[in-house]
A and B are shown apart, each in its own frame.
Chain A
């Protein structure tokens, strides 16, 4: 009974969608905001990557909201999965020799790749979120390959809080030095060198550290069994 009603509902939605999607043409420029950001992007912000300047300069407040949502989710996960009794000591299964050798060899290079990606966020495709996810997957490799090594979780919490605090303080400094929150108050410099585009690389470094330590803390909360 429930299957038949759901299939009828999906067929109705299917026809409505077909009638409305044939009105939207494919591959034709539709808006004017995008062309304004492309034409004036380098002069007003100094970042060569236009998507980065949209995310952090023109729509910077949305990025602050997204960082807050990620913080609340990590907080909620730690609160739901917390236990009162002590963790029972289960027998630790040793991992195979390929995994443990690979873990010891690859971990510094994965950290280096993640740091490179969020450091050059305004020059090449990349940014804080992608680099932070790569750093978190490096820590996942350590949890799988070397199960005897326990990472202290207080370091994750301190780095995460400092990253979020840096973002808000830079925004408030923009309010003090100029007219509005998240004003770009540092000099813009010459485009396509590393030290350019004002406050954009500083914010991406803070976001990279924050997202990396946050996702590593989430994985640590899920793996610990009691």
Chain B
């Protein structure tokens, strides 16, 4: 119970990173690899935000003018993860357009067959 209440977020984030790495290493279909890349990005973002958490803290917004600024969560990792989410969607869109172009040229999406081609 102590272990669960302390390390549950780290376990979830590292589980996602491992599953994403396993999909990237062992699957041959190109779109399945891109799905693994998306899962890997989500795991890394979850890890970054769970490091900046303070116990019994609140969100860093002064909704009423006299909130106590002592027990607020760290705002710097949240700003960095906001940038990282937008960059990951840009990379995924570019990768999917290249996959569509590859399919139109080689008529297959199996990476083993595409690597053997010469031209």
A-side contacts of B79, CB under 8 Å: 51, 54-55, 59
Residues of chain B at the chain A interface (Cβ within 8 Å): 6-7, 9-10, 14, 18, 21-22, 25-26, 50-55, 59-63, 65, 69, 72, 74-76, 78-79, 82-83, 85-87, 90-91, 93-94, 96-98, 100-101
Q: How far is the CA of A54 from the CA of B94 in the complex (A)?
A: 29
Q: Which residue of A lies closest to B62 (CB)?
A: A48
Q: Which residue of B lies closest to A78 (CB)?
A: B97
Checking A14, A31, A49, A77 against B97 with a beta-carbon cut-off of 8 angstroms, the contacting residue is A77
Q: How far is the CA of A48 from the CA of B75 in the complex (A)?
A: 13
With contact pairs A42-B62, A70-B90 given, residues A21 and B75 touching in the complex (Cβ less than 8 Å): no
On whether the beta carbons of A50 and B62 are closer than 8 Å, the reply is yes
Residues of chain A at the chain B interface (Cβ within 8 Å): 2-3, 6, 9-10, 13-14, 17, 21, 24, 26-31, 33-35, 37-39, 42, 48-51, 54-55, 59, 62-63, 66, 69-70, 72-74, 76-77, 80-81, 124-125, 127, 129, 191-192, 211, 218, 221-222
Q: How far is the CA of A49 from the CA of B86 in the complex (A)?
A: 20
On whether the beta carbons of A218 and B93 are closer than 8 Å, the reply is yes
Q: How far is the CA of A115 from the CA of B62 in the complex (A)?
A: 22
With contact pairs A66-B86, A129-B82, A129-B86 given, residues A26 and B26 touching in the complex (Cβ less than 8 Å): no
Q: How far is the CA of A122 from the CA of B72 in the complex (A)?
A: 17
With contact pairs A48-B62, A69-B90 given, residues A62 and B51 touching in the complex (Cβ less than 8 Å): no
With contact pairs A26-B7, A26-B9 given, residues A48 and B69 touching in the complex (Cβ less than 8 Å): no
Residue among B21, B83, B98 with the highest chain A CB neighbour number at 10 A:
B83
Q: How far is the CA of A70 from the CA of B89 in the complex (A)?
A: 9
Q: Which residue of A lies closest to B87 (CB)?
A: A69
